[in-house]
Amino acid sequence: MKFRTLLPLLVVTVLVGCKAPAPQMTDDTLVTSQVNGVTLTHRYIVAVPHEFTQVNASYRALYAGSVMSKPDFGSKVLSKLETGKAYTVLGTVESSWLAIAEEGEQELMGYVPPRAMVKSELYSQTLKNDRPRARRASGKKATCVNVDSNSKACQNADSGTWIIN
């Protein structure tokens, strides 16, 4: 009689103690996080920022920089920016890093330093200003005199030194 009541109690105890295994999180598992009232969708490998200021603007990459998993240079490289390609900057995070997504998307793909990107409407002007300028020829003429029939000496207009050729 005692065995009949003990057996169902034992079965119930064993079943209650069993839990379903937790789903395995991989780097590519999509998760959502909320920071400063903004919900971010991102891969599990991308760290959640401590601070987030929403931007939601189109930016273009100035160079082929690295997209990082955390907003610092010591983190894991997730991908590379394509020079000139447009991306959506979701917001700024700690140390003024930019949280970016593919153009037109809202899934956070990682972080880049602020100097790696510029607003799309300022891209061509930024490239134009970054080009090296041609040096203008000095308006001063070199003063040259013949030393003998085979050589001459010229005075450097900037420093005033004489150079014998």
d(CA 80, CA 93): 19
Task: Work out how many domains the chain is built from and give that number.
Answer: 1
Give the predicted TM-score (pTM) of the model.
0.68
Domain membership of residue 150 (yes or no) is no
Domain membership of residue 51 (yes or no) is yes
- Tokens 């890093």: give the residue: 97
Residue 37: DSSP 8-state: T
pLDDT tens for each residue of the chain, 165 residues long: 566 777 777 777 776 766 667 678 888 899 999 999 999 999 999 999 999 999 999 999 999 999 999 999 999 999 999 999 999 999 999 999 999 999 999 999 999 999 999 999 999 888 888 777 766 655 566 688 888 878 888 887 777 788 877
Domain membership of residue 16 (yes or no) is no
Give the number of other CB atoms < 10 A from CB of residue 28: 8
**Taking Cα atoms as reference points, which of 97, 96, 82, 87 lies closest to residue 59?**
87
Residue 26 near residue 62, CB atoms below 8 Å: no
Domain membership of residue 158 (yes or no) is no
Domain membership of residue 115 (yes or no) is yes
Residue 80: DSSP 8-state: E
Q: What is the CATH number of the domain that holds 96?
A: 2.30.30.170
Give the angle subtended at the CA of 15 by the CAs of 10 and 17, to the nearest 5°: 95
Range of the structural domain that residue 58 is part of: 30-128
